[in-house]
Chains A and B, each alone.
Chain A
Amino acid sequence: MDLLLEYREQLLAGLVTTVQLALASLVLSVTMGLLGAWAKLSASRAANAVAGAYTTVVRGVPDLVLIMLVFFGGQVTVNRIGAATGLWNYVEISQFAAGALTIGIIFGAYFTETFRGAILAIPRGQIEAGISTGMSGPLLFRRIIWPQMVRYALPGFGNNWLVQLKTTALVSVIGLQDLVYNAFAAGRSTGALFTFMAAAFVIYLALTAVSDLGLRALERRYSRGVARA
């Protein structure tokens, strides 16, 4: 316990990085998810195909493989393009950027399915009613689709978020100084790896428990207008 107190600043800094990474990738993945759901539900064959390929590829390849491909391969690609076109000099992709980008894109695929299901769950008649009263596309989305979509999407959203939060731990493998990395470093230098990994374990558990409670409150709030069975 004294050891943990001694290294509390390092652990806290790691925790902050982990939370920032999770939130940054969440914003990206929700955006990708909305775009993906829109593409999957659109009448355009091309958009369907692109969104279908996106979700299939992402679900077929493990997260860490994609993170490493973006971090190691992406760096080389960006610099080769820069050298060939002369548009930019040497660029370094940070671990944070690579992690947020990759995890955001990966979970965008899961959010695509969640949002697609939620939009499909909205009774068709309500959308038709909106169109017949002359609502424009954006207004229809804002007034009819979004408020109900949120309610239908919340359980899936919560599930995705919990998995996403835990997935951020993998970015420590490419050297991001997050909670796992810092706990491991502290554990290694003090010879107390169990103590520090156990601390990381408990902190992750606290993060998921708090998220779980928050999500339940949100679910109650968004289903206020619905009769309970």
Chain B
Amino acid sequence: MENLLSWFPLDLALIAENFDRFLYGVGVTLGLTFLSLALGGAMAVPLAVVRASCHRVLNPVVWVYTYVFRGTPLLVQTYLLYYGAGQFEFVRNSWLWDPVLSQAWWCALIAFTLNTGAYTTELLRGAIADTPKGEVEAAIATGISKRGRLSRIVLPSAFRRAIPAYSNEVIFMLHGSVVASTITLQDILGVGRWLNGRYYLAYEGLITAAVLYFIIVFAITRVFRWLERRYLRHLNRRREPIARNIAPPMGVK
């Protein structure tokens, strides 16, 4: 085995030895990514409804939020919160300082949530704006209330239409989560950098991190392909002619 592996340019034994650390990193990365996606997504639904409405006060307010968070790098947003908050004495004296704002993990989670919330809001706004007029008209004609129209017709249909774009947002958020490693967190990249620094290596840690990220992205695209197949089935082209259920013309057997 030793001889067999010696031609290989990477020290696989070292990677295997530290693999439990990498698994921990996978946990941190996935935890931050999916928690922020869940919280940001939950935030985005009402905000997208506001953005799709013509409310004169709320609509511009939400627009400013999405514009600002989509117009600046996630790294700067995270630094501003993690390093910036401590500049103010009232923040350092507040009850939030010890448990939340002085903690890198919480700062990363808050920054990531606000970031993905902004992108998801605009993505959903687009999907809501694309609702076929006929669906809404049909709902009005059947006497569904305004609320019911939103929760039973517009939103479910918008969620389906947003799936392809949202899969990109999920992958971008996973990519963006590497910012966590710049504020001391041991996510996948953090562990990779630690390994390289500890043993003075050039590749092992970073390549292991790259492979792990690649596997996660692959899994995410698979899940979304399944979701698209399931929830956008009505958009697929029919294999058989539509008329197959119509009775054949008289005289044809």
Q: A165 CA to B176 CA in the complex, in Å?
A: 14
Q: A62-B175, A191-B87 are in contact. Are A68 and B79 (CB under 8 A)?
A: no
Most buried by B among A61, A193, A204: A61
Q: Cβ of A201 and Cβ of B87 under 8 Å apart?
A: no
Segment at the interface with A among B135-143, B203-211, B231-239: B203-211
Cβ-closest chain B residue relative to A172: B75
Q: Contact string, B88-117, partner A, CB cutoff 8 A, digits 1/0? A: 100000000000000000000000000000
Q: Mark A129-167, 1 if CB is under 8 A from B, else 0.
A: 000000000000000000000000000000000100011
Give per-residue flags for B44-78: 1 if the beta carbon is below 8 A from chain A beta carbons, else 0. Answer: 00000000000000000000000010111111110
Q: How far is the CB of B234 from chain A (nearest CB, A)?
A: 24
Is A220's beta carbon under 8 Å from chain B?
no
**In the complex with contacts A61-B213, A64-B189, A69-B210, A193-B86 CB distance below 8 A:** yes
A57 interfacial contact with B, CB 8 Å: yes
A31 within 8 A of B: no
Tell me, rounded to whole Å, the shortest Cβ–Cβ distance linking B6 to chain A: 17
Q: Which residue of B lies closest to A69 (CB)?
A: B206
Q: A172: shortest Cβ distance to chain B, in Å? A: 7
Chain A 48-62 interface 0/1 with B at a Cβ cutoff of 8 Å (1 = within): 000000000101111
Closest to A205 in B: B71
Decide yes or no: A66 and B87 within 8 Å by CB, A201-B77, A204-B76, A209-B71 being known contacts: no
Q: Mark A170-203, 1 if CB is under 8 A from B, else 0.
A: 1011000000100010010001111101101100
**Using Cβ atoms and an 8 Å threshold, which residues of chain A touch B70?**
208
Q: A60 contacts which chain B residues (CB < 8 A)?
A: 213-214, 217-218
The binding surface of chain A is classed by DSSP as helix
Interface status of A82 (Cβ within 8 A of chain B) = no
Is the CB of A41 closer than 8 A to any CB of chain B?
no
CB distance B84 to A197 under 8 Å? Answer: yes
The interface residues of chain B, by DSSP majority, are classed as: helix
CB distance from A160 to the nearest CB of B (A): 12
| Interface membership of A19, Cβ < 8 A | no
A17 close to chain B: CB less than 8 A: no
Q: Are B87 and A76 in contact (CB under 8 A)?
A: no
How far apart sit A28 and B48, CA to CA, in the bound complex (Å)?
36
- Nearest-CB residue, chain A, relative to B171: A59
User: Which of B80, B174, B189, B202 is close to A197, meaning CB atoms less than 8 Å apart?
Assistant: B80
Checking A57, A73, A77, A201 against B76 with a beta-carbon cut-off of 8 angstroms, the contacting residue is A201
B181 cross-chain contacts in A, Cβ below 8 A: 64
B124 to A: closest C-beta gap in Å: 17
Given A73-B206, A191-B87, A204-B71: A169 and B76 within 8 A (CB)?
yes
| Interchain CB contact (< 8 A) of B213 among A62, A187, A191 | A62
Which chain A positions have C-beta within 8 A of B175? 62-63
Asked if residues B75 and A170 are in contact (CB atoms below 8 Å), the reply is yes
B178 & A64 in contact (Cβ 8 Å cutoff): yes
3 shortest interchain CB distances as A-B pairs: A194-B84, A169-B73, A76-B202
Give me 12 other A-B pairs in contact (C-beta within 8 A), A173-B182, A204-B71 excluded.
Answer: A60-B214, A63-B178, A64-B182, A65-B209, A72-B202, A166-B72, A180-B75, A192-B87, A193-B79, A193-B87, A197-B76, A205-B71
Q: Write the residues of chain A forming the contact surface with B, with a CB cutoff of 8 angstroms.
A: 57, 59-66, 68-69, 72-73, 75-77, 162, 166-167, 169-170, 172-173, 180, 184, 187, 191-195, 197-198, 200-201, 204-205, 208-209
A-B contact list, 30 entries, CB within 8 Å: A60-B217, A61-B213, A61-B217, A62-B177, A62-B189, A63-B178, A64-B179, A64-B181, A64-B182, A65-B192, A65-B209, A68-B193, A69-B207, A69-B210, A73-B203, A73-B207, A76-B202, A77-B202, A170-B75, A187-B84, A191-B87, A193-B79, A193-B86, A194-B84, A197-B76, A197-B79, A204-B76, A205-B68, A205-B71, A209-B71
